[in-house]
Amino acid sequence: MKDYEAFFREYPFAESPESVLSKAKQAVSDTYDRLNNATTWKEIFRTLEITTLKATDHEESIRQLVEKINALDDQYPEIPVPAGICVYPAWVETAKGLLTEDVEISTVVGFPSSQTFTEVKIAETALAIADGATEIDMVLPVGKFLAGDYDSVYNEIQEVKSACRDHRLKVILETGLLKEPGAVWRASLLAMEAGADFIKTTTGKEVPTDLNAVWIMASAIKAYREKTKQVKGIKIAGGVNETQDAVIYYGIVLDLLGADYLAEDHFRIGTSRLANKLMSSILKEDICYF
């Protein structure tokens, strides 16, 4: 068993909710005005994972979404191709068979609550990869984490990462359920240490993303990079529905991690609504494409 308390002591964190919010707001204040423009909106669009994770998803709805991604260049040549599409595991093969654009195919395992067997998550990951998924988003076992069972959490992430083979693993922290800044900090570090390539804010099924969580996660990525020289990505999801929200989070990541982190290899936004809002902002007309 890893000595988790010793590991966490390597990364001291003493911020209160108030100090985190103050620093996050300062980062927004320092960046928002210069970023809130069409150039940034297009760069943000490049990082999007166009997401559909509804109980009502079916083959035809997935086909329609994929065809819109395929046709985006022709329909709106001013709009960049997004980073990827995110669907339930059952629809990975459908998306893979229809996509003509070179975008990532993400899927989710243990979604949305992570309350199933590790073996099921491993099998789901392996089957999704076999069907064509290029990235896996797994949900942190939040209950075990909050109970202090760090060993089980660490081992599960490692096992799912192994099942990913050479594909990216994103670990969804479900930050709104972690309640206090120190827990978000520890969950971020634990996930990265266990092998996560990205840490992700929320599923969007519980509590939406907020400024505090993004600032803490980006700060943890920075601290982890400084100590280990490993570069981990951040994915923001859950309630990022407006152009201004995206610019705010983009600015926080820029402020803490630098411009190199703002490409799709290290920064993503998972969304089902933001794409239309960004397109409307860029083209200065109401767009309802996705």
Catalytic site positions: 137, 200, 235
Instruction: Say how many C-beta atoms besides its own lie within 10 A of residue 177's C-beta.
Output: 18
Residues 6 or more apart in contact with residue 239 via CB below 8 angstroms: 202, 204, 208, 209, 245
Of the candidates 284, 238, 234, the one whose C-alpha atom is nearest the C-alpha of residue 262 is 234
Q: Where are any strands of DSSP class E within the chain?
A: 48-51, 84-87, 104-109, 135-139, 168-172, 198-200, 233-237, 267-271
HEC profile of 169-185? EEEECCHHHCCCHHHHH
Of the candidates 253, 264, 258, 224, the one whose C-alpha atom is nearest the C-alpha of residue 80 is 264
What is the torsion angle, in degrees rounded to the nearest 10, for the CA atoms of residue 93, residue 89, residue 185 and residue 266?
10
Residues 6 or more apart in contact with residue 99 via CB below 8 angstroms: 66, 69, 70, 85, 105
Instruction: Find out whether 65 and 101 touch, Cβ atoms under 8 Å.
Output: no
Tell me the HSE value of 37 on the side-chain side, using a 13 A CA sphere. Answer: 5
Q: Look-up: residue for tokens 């909050």?
A: 146
